[in-house]
Amino acid sequence: MDLKQIQYFIALFEDGSVTRAAKRLNIVQPALSMQIAKLEDELHQQLFERGAHGMAPTAAGRLMYRLFLPIIRDLAHARQQLVQRDEVVTGHVSIGLIASVTESVLADSLSRFHARYPHVEVTVSDGYSATFIDWVSGGQLDAALINKPRARLSLDSQPLLDEEMVLVTSAVHGPDLPHAIELAQLPELELVLPTKRHGLRGVLDTAAQHEDVLLAPRFEIDVLSTIVKLVESTRFATILPRIVVERAVRLGTLRAYPILAPRIVRHIVRISHPRRPLSAAAEALIAIIADELRLVSSESTMEA
């Protein structure tokens, strides 16, 4: 087994087609098929099942991918660090972002990043905090921005932003409420909240349990943009970070109310693997995203 065979294997695993993988590697299809066959012979394992719809990995193939992907990423990062010039940042960044970050600042962050680092490729995954912890641990992601979990992490964790969560209602259809509301009053409202799989729901439930308050939402939805649209057109209320609803509040379609006694605060942290230092490109991208988060958060706080 050599490095070239592993790279061929990973390309075929990710593309699912000999034709697409060969094109990605800039080689002819027979050369790719021959190297995969040699690899299977050496390992005494079938790595792919060949079918009418492409190449499907076997259990052995999926295990090999999980084991070798972090190694290939580490080699790529090491090469990048050695050959990189100060004036030209290159490479590839793979990062995970929770939905509240992607929906609020990702577009502006990528625009700023590309203007400064046009030679860097970026892959962004959207998902749950728990999933990103697994992916960073396994090497599928360089880093992730997540809601800080209650459990202690084995990964490196750096705080990026502490943000207040607010009660949100429709500016047109919402109920009449005082300027601020206490946490104990929330069960009196018709709520739509993220599901218990969502990191934001964990923040809410922790605060509610501490005050012996039971949150019983009528609807549970993990797509934050859908929650916002539903609240805009109904009497339902929700509880979300300010950055998620800041634009709608500016446009006048939503109202945001501070929650008191106690305030509910979520903590966004950056996680990365302690044995896989981040590349200069990854550090730069995360710094820009963090800056955009702080900017949006400070603007919404001043308007509140």
Per-residue pLDDT reduced to its tens digit, 47-79:
998 877 778 889 999 889 888 888 887 777 677
Distance CA 161, CA 266 (A): 8
Q: Would you say the CATH fold of 163-266 matches that of 87-160+267-303?
A: yes
Bridge partners (DSSP) of residue 158 are 270
Is the pTM higher than 0.85? no
For residue range 101-117, list pLDDT tens digits in order. Answer: 998 899 999 999 999 99
For 256-267, what is the mean pLDDT? 90
User: Could you tell me if 47 and 40 are in contact, meaning their C-beta atoms sit under 8 angstroms apart?
Assistant: yes
Whether the CA torsion 276, 277, 281, 282 is positive or negative: it is positive
**Per-residue pLDDT for 136 more than 60?**
yes
% residues pLDDT > 90 (the chain) = 53
> Which region among 12-21, 137-146, 168-177, 236-245 has the lowest average model confidence (pLDDT)?
12-21
164 contacts: CB under 8 Å, gap ≥ 6: 241, 242, 258, 259, 263, 264, 265, 301
Can you give the pLDDT at residue 266?
92
**3-81 is a CATH 1.10.10.10 domain:** yes
Start-to-end C-alpha separation, the chain: 60
The mean predicted confidence, pLDDT, of the chain is 89
Can you give the pLDDT at residue 4?
86
Tokens matching residue 190: 């018709």
Can you give the pLDDT at residue 269?
95
For 232-244, what is the mean pLDDT? 94
Instruction: DSSP for 185-224, please give it.
Output: GGGGS-BEE--TTSHHHHHHHHHHHHTT-----SEE-S-H
Q: So where are the chain's domains?
A: 3-81, 87-160+267-303, 163-266
224: amino acid identity, one letter: L
Tokens matching residue 194: 């993220």
163-266: CATH topology = D-Maltodextrin-Binding Protein; domain 2 (3.40.190)
CATH of domain 87-160+267-303: 3.40.190.10
For 268-280, what is the mean pLDDT? 90
Can you give the pLDDT at residue 20?
86
